[in-house]
Amino acid sequence: MTLLPYIVNDLRVPLARLLAGALVVALASSACAAGEQGAGGASGKHLLVLFSNNRLLPANVEADRGIRSKLQGLQPDAEISAEFLDYPRFTGEDYIRTLSAYLREKYRERPPQVVVVAGQDAFAFLMDNRRHLFPAAPVVHIAASAAQIEAAAPLPADVVGEPLNIDFRGTVELALRHHAQARHVVVVTGASAFDRAYEAQFRRDAARMGERASFEFLAGLSTQDVLARLAALDRGSVVFTPGFFQDREGRSYFPREAVSIMTKASGAPVYGPFETLIGAGVVGGSMVNFFDMGQEAAEAASAIMVGAEPASLTPPPRAPAQAQLDWREARRWQVPPHLVSRDTLVRFKEPTFWEAHRREALAATGVFALQALLISGLLVERQRRRRTEIALKNNLFQLAHASRRAIAGELTGSIAHEINQPLGAILSNAVAADLMLESGSCTREELREILQDIRRDNMRASEVIRRLRALLQNKELEHAPFDVNEAISDAAHVLRAEVQRRQAQLVVLPAPAPLVVAGDHIQIQQVVINLVLNAMDATATLPPERRAVVVQAASVQGGVDVSVADRGAGVPPAKLEQIFDSFFTTKSAGIGLGLSIARTLVESHHGRIWVENGPQEGAIFHVFLPWPAGAGDSARGT
Ligand code: ADP
């Protein structure tokens, strides 16, 4: 395979003659040539593009694409023919003569209306042979060097175009910026006349760049020598090359091919001035774009086809060469991203997560933000609820306390009476002792008995006061274990005098064993007192024997049941629930808060309060209080 270029090179002149001769004969009689297209025969719009080099040269492929895409849009009925002169592989007078004869014959019947010449060899060929070939067809040139155009000046009025501007300086500056440690620039060009023309330009450009870097030209060497020198380079150098068509030994390349070989061997990053070199291992360059050039040429050709004078065409200002970077190579050669300027076109860059999934990321961020907002909202709400709960608890506490004061107020009369009894007894005992002492008739034993009576009565009075004070105490809510039996017996003690005053009976039936629940002992006592007072209210108008109220505590499934039963009229079935609502009362002096407060207190103990009517008569109120967490029913013997 590698011998092929040598063989081709050796045989190039005879082959060229043979090939051209055969083509003249074969194609001159045929209207159908490679590259022809469209129905331009009918419209007369016929564009011939002469490319300097091979059909497969990437620059030609790009320019051809640009010409066709543009012209098809502007002049859909135009015919496009393309010829590839295959310089510099085939050169020489014979080749040119044969080529020109071939083209003359081929296009004799259907001469092109406009000719586009792409590249300096095609330009030179046409300028030399135009009068034999297509003397009437205006010419649009692309990709010919400025030096060549200058040398050919003045150009005829019907020859227009923009010279190719290879941005040597821009590319070298880009390379030196990307590789701050590099001070040496190695310029590689080839051995063909075409390559030599490039070399001349680069030498001129390098001379104008002054002291920025030292320049070394590897011009017209053998491929082997070039590769050896490139391999010896380090990061202190950068390489500039447009590629080359031929090396010293006459080996032919497409420039991209040559660049590919060089980038593989080089110990320094390689930069080039053509976009077609991207992907061949170059890091980047200030690059010209052959596709755009093709499009501009097609625009000019189209204007001429519809009657514009070539001389009147002012070629559009050529977009300056574009700084480009192959991201894969930039990473390989560790180009710091911050040194890549914003106007550089970065190719093959894998999009970052953000770039690739911007929409999804935005959506997800939105969802997260919303979620965060929702969570914060919920947290704020929870905090607010807590504050409200605390406030409610405080209010409840105040309310319960106020209610207890009201109860105490209600009981004042009977309690005063209850205290009066022991106080009266104390007084009588004291008077009796006094008399006995005065008469001198008392024995020690009698005196002791009197003193014991006084002490007992005193204790009775202080017990009443103690219980009342306990009820009235404005202390914080408690949450401690207490025996429900004790709570109902305390309630009964507080109520004893009131029960007597009302000529009622209060029967307390505690459970045989302690019924320990958790909560506030005073609050449960308050609930029971409330229920008993209501029961006595309900039976107040009945004969005294029916004014009995029975308070019973029992262990039931899951907790303790305290029932308060009376023999009154009971609660109308429709009101069984309603009587627990605030301000529901059927009493003329009632407020309707007693049962509502009782329910709140019981529920704050995780319990339940309800009422049912007795089987025969009266109402039975039930208060259920659960066992403390962790204490099972079995432990209670239920
Ligand atoms: P108040 O005692 O101020 O009316 P309560 O909330 O304690 O407020 O009672 C609400 C209502 O429930 C009473 O007005 C009464 O109609 C009814 N009630 C309460 N206890 C009994 C009972 N033992 N028998 C019949 N009705 C009762």
> Model confidence over 168-197: pLDDT tens digits?
999 999 999 999 999 999 999 999 888 998
Test site for ligand 1: of 403, 529, 537, most ligand atoms within 8 A of the Cβ: 537
Residue 246 is classified by DSSP as: B
Retrieve residue 305's tokens: 């086809």
pLDDT at 402 (0 to 100) = 81
Is the pLDDT at 417 greater than 90, yes or no? no
Test site for ligand 1: of 407, 527, 531, 534, most ligand atoms within 8 A of the Cβ: 534
Is the pLDDT at 284 greater than 90, yes or no? yes
| Cα-to-centroid distance, 530 and ligand 1 (Å) | 10
287 vs 9, residue with greater confidence:
287
- Quick one: pLDDT band at residue 38, thresholds 50, 70, 90? very low
For the chain, the average pLDDT equals 86
The residue nearest atom 16 of ligand 1, judged by CA position, is: 586
> Model confidence over 96-120: pLDDT tens digits?
999 999 999 999 998 999 999 999 8
pLDDT at 10 (0 to 100) = 41
Cβ of 602 closer than 6 Å to ligand 1, yes or no, is: no
Is the pLDDT at 34 greater than 50, yes or no? no
Retrieve residue 6's tokens: 């040598």
Q: Do domains 4-161 and 478-638 have the same CATH topology?
A: no
33 vs 440, residue with greater confidence:
440
| Cα-to-centroid distance, 531 and ligand 1 (Å) | 9
| Cα-to-centroid distance, 500 and ligand 1 (Å) | 21
Contact yes or no for 306/140 (Cβ under 8 A): no
Contact yes or no for 44/113 (Cβ under 8 A): yes
Comparing C-alpha atoms, which of 519, 547, 555, 538 is closest to residue 621? 538
Is the pLDDT at 317 greater than 70, yes or no? no
Test site for ligand 1: of 542, 575, 579, 620, most ligand atoms within 8 A of the Cβ: 579
- The partner residues of 287 in beta bridges, in order of sequence, read 322
- The partner residues of 247 in beta bridges, in order of sequence, read none
| Cα-to-centroid distance, 586 and ligand 1 (Å) | 7
Test site for ligand 1: of 564, 566, 595, most ligand atoms within 8 A of the Cβ: 595
Contact yes or no for 126/279 (Cβ under 8 A): no
d(CA 272, CA 266): 14
Cβ of 541 closer than 6 Å to ligand 1, yes or no, is: no
Give me the CATH topology for the region 4-161. Rossmann fold (3.40.50)
Contact yes or no for 557/505 (Cβ under 8 A): no
What pairing do the DSSP bridges indicate for beta strands 322-326 and 159-161?
Answer: unpaired
Comparing C-alpha atoms, which of 201, 202, 293, 275 is closest to residue 239? 202
> Model confidence over 224-259: pLDDT tens digits?
999 999 999 999 999 999 999 999 999 999 899 999
| Cα-to-centroid distance, 565 and ligand 1 (Å) | 13
- The partner residues of 516 in beta bridges, in order of sequence, read 483
> Model confidence over 588-610: pLDDT tens digits?
888 888 998 899 889 989 999 99
d(CA 106, CA 42): 18
Retrieve residue 378's tokens: 């919920």
Alpha helices in 29-158 (DSSP H): 40-43, 58-74, 93-106, 120-133, 146-152
Average pLDDT over residues 473-480: 73
Cβ of 594 closer than 6 Å to ligand 1, yes or no, is: yes
- CB neighbour list of residue 239: distance below 8 Å, 6 or more residues apart: 185, 186, 187, 188, 230, 233, 262, 266, 268, 269, 270, 271
The mean-pLDDT minimum among 366-375, 439-448, 466-475 falls in 466-475
d(CA 579, CA 588): 15
| Cα-to-centroid distance, 602 and ligand 1 (Å) | 17
| Cα-to-centroid distance, 541 and ligand 1 (Å) | 15
Test site for ligand 1: of 547, 585, 597, most ligand atoms within 8 A of the Cβ: 585
- Quick one: pLDDT band at residue 92, thresholds 50, 70, 90? confident
Retrieve residue 610's tokens: 């309800």
Alpha helices in 287-357 (DSSP H): 290-305, 327-332, 353-356
The mean-pLDDT minimum among 98-102, 386-390, 563-567 falls in 386-390
| Cα-to-centroid distance, 358 and ligand 1 (Å) | 68
Closest atom of ligand 1 to CA, residue 586? 14
Comparing C-alpha atoms, which of 196, 193, 140 is closest to residue 163? 140
Contact yes or no for 285/273 (Cβ under 8 A): yes
Cβ of 534 closer than 6 Å to ligand 1, yes or no, is: yes
Closest atom of ligand 1 to CA, residue 591? 3
What are the extents of the domains in the chain?
A: 4-161, 168-287+320-347, 352-401, 411-474, 478-638
Give me the CATH topology for the region 168-287+320-347. Rossmann fold (3.40.50)
471 vs 363, residue with greater confidence:
363
- Quick one: pLDDT band at residue 9, thresholds 50, 70, 90? very low
pLDDT at 442 (0 to 100) = 76
Cβ of 584 closer than 6 Å to ligand 1, yes or no, is: yes
d(CA 605, CA 519): 6
Cβ of 538 closer than 6 Å to ligand 1, yes or no, is: yes
Closest atom of ligand 1 to CA, residue 585? 14
Closest atom of ligand 1 to CA, residue 618? 24
Give the CATH architecture of domain 478-638: 2-Layer Sandwich (3.30)
Closest atom of ligand 1 to CA, residue 584? 10
- CB neighbour list of residue 188: distance below 8 Å, 6 or more residues apart: 218, 219, 226, 230, 239, 240, 241, 244, 262
Test site for ligand 1: of 532, 586, 601, most ligand atoms within 8 A of the Cβ: 586
603 phi and psi angles, rounded to 5 deg: -65, -30
The mean-pLDDT minimum among 26-30, 91-95, 327-331, 528-532 falls in 26-30
Average pLDDT over residues 136-152: 87
What pairing do the DSSP bridges indicate for beta strands 237-240 and 270-271?
Answer: parallel
- Quick one: pLDDT band at residue 218, thresholds 50, 70, 90? very high
